[in-house]
Amino acid sequence: MTWLGVDLGDARVGLALSDPELTFAHPIGNIPAYGDSFRALDDVIGVIEDEAVDHVVVGLPLLMSGEEGKSARKARRWAANLAKRIDAMIGAGETPLTQAPSVQLVDERLTTVSAHRQLRQAIGAERGHRPAVDQQSAVVILQSALDSREQ
């Protein structure tokens, strides 16, 4: 089994993969979003196909109050669009996937703060590491889902 973690952003979409035992998450890169995370859908589907992903964990950016704002609604639409697009591709025989991965939304409040802290501890200076933060945020989102799965 392999899980994919996704941190949506308008500049970049950060990605992380699990190990086959679903124990830990590691960063695998960013996909340019060119101002809209929906532009990255095809590339994310390519990763799902290439890595034989069984489950996708998408960060849900809730407000600190726990309510859903504009960004959370956009993440819900993105996740639904991902699932619909893969289902359509499977139906049309346009993908090597035989089954669509399940898609889960996970509260991502404070993941960027956590990612910045982890990177600062690992590499020091903050300057210029925004692309690494997007990947690390995807790691935090995915690791949170993996950890909660085990409890």
The pLDDT of residue 7 is above 60 = yes
The pLDDT of residue 69 is above 60 = yes
Token pair for 131: 């692309």
The pLDDT of residue 129 is above 60 = no
3-state DSSP call for residue 9? coil
Token pair for 67: 């309510």
How far, CA to CA in Å, does 55 sit from each of 98, 119, 122, 135?
A: 14, 26, 28, 18
Q: How far apart are CA 27 and CA 25, in angstroms?
A: 7
Q: Which pTM was predicted?
A: 0.86
Q: Find tokens 């941190």 and name the residue.
A: 7
The domain locations on the chain are 3-150
Among the CATH numbers 3.30.420.140, 3.30.420.40, 2.40.10.220, 3.40.50.300, which is that of 3-150? 3.30.420.140
**pLDDT at position 18:** 98
Amino acid at 44: V
pLDDT band at 109 (very low <50, low <70, confident <90, very high): confident
Determine what percent of the chain is predicted with pLDDT higher than 90: 69
